[in-house]
A = this chain, B = another copy of it.
Amino acid sequence: MRNIIEDTITQAVVASMREAEDARLRTVMTCLVQHLHSFAREVKLTEDEWFRAIRFLTAVGHITDDKRQEFILLSDTLGLSTLVTAQNNQKPSGCTESTDFGPLFVEGAREYKSGDDISNGASGEPCFVSGRVLSADGSPIASARIDVWQSDEDAFYDVQRRPESSLTAEHQTRGRLSSAADGTFNFRSILAGAHPIPHDGPVGRLLDALGRHPWRPAHLHFMIAAPGYETLVTHIFRNGGQYLDSDAVFGVRPSLIADWVRHEPGVAPDGTSLGDAFYTLQYDFVLNLRNI
């Protein structure tokens, strides 16, 4: 350990962890150190580049707070989140695929009844969403907890616009519902549009330097939980929308793309008469049984 040079440092660090009580931690950290060192060797990382990386991570840390998680954004934009989600959510054929959780979910969003308007005053074209929560054998799942969240027509989520103090009172285009006895759910909201991930910080500057845009294709976030089933975290993407082939966080799956159907002014699914055009979206979610 006192003659550590370029060729011996990796083995020295690995050896230093031999007393770790948590074998899994030792395995993970050993693999991390080996790849971190291999990376630095392969590109022959310079001292200046190392220091730029230190400054970058410091900036990521300093912009992160209760409302903004720049490390998750970094993980998302480097595809790590998608990889971790994919390798931990392999399911039988027929189950709805998972995708990234993202940094914009909020605990404690308002609860709604079936048919309610979760836009809560946000402006945008009306969109009526309906579907069923099912088990893989096609049987309905009653009383599933359904969290939904989306951006508004200005491409912002409510938490990106509003001061923290008014968060709970002012939630818009997010809420919690339950599936009915026959597994159905429905709610009114507004049409989701493409939206950029927060890109006024260090991750945005990195994307810019890499020639990448910060946009995500239009999507609705869903998190669906029911006793005995794996909790499903996913999005539904709008067919025909922009950025489906260049999602900044690599979240698109073909099975999660659905048609938002446009309707001329007339009677909406909830029986009201609308003077403007509106959209409908229908999607059934299939949950995977939890392993006992």
Contact = CB atoms under 8 A, between A and B. Distances in A.
Nearest to A211: B19
B5 A40 contact: no
Given A84-B47, A246-B1, A210 B75 contact: no
Given A47-B88, A60-B61, A62-B64, 20 more contacts: A1-B244, A1-B252, A2-B257, A4-B86, A4-B250, A5-B253, A6-B83, A9-B82, A10-B79, A12-B250, A13-B79, A19-B212, A25-B209, A28-B49, A31-B39, A33-B78, A35-B36, A35-B38, A37-B83, A58-B64
A27 B50 CA distance: 14
25 contacts: A1-B247, A2-B252, A2-B257, A4-B252, A5-B253, A6-B87, A9-B250, A12-B79, A16-B250, A19-B212, A21-B209, A22-B209, A25-B209, A26-B210, A27-B43, A31-B42, A32-B39, A35-B38, A40-B83, A40-B87, A45-B87, A46-B88, A54-B72, A57-B57, A61-B62
A27 B42 CA distance: 10
Nearest to A30: B43
Contacts of A44: 87-88
Interface of A: 1-6, 9-10, 12-13, 16-22, 25-29, 31-33, 35-47, 49-50, 54, 57-58, 60-62, 64, 69, 71-72, 75, 78-88, 90, 209-212, 244-247, 250-254, 257
Contact of A40 (B1, B40, B58, B84): B84
A87 B47 CA distance: 9
Contact of A211 (B5, B18, B209): B18
7 closest cross-chain pairs (CB), A and B: A61-B61, A19-B211, A13-B79, A6-B86, A35-B35, A35-B39, A2-B252
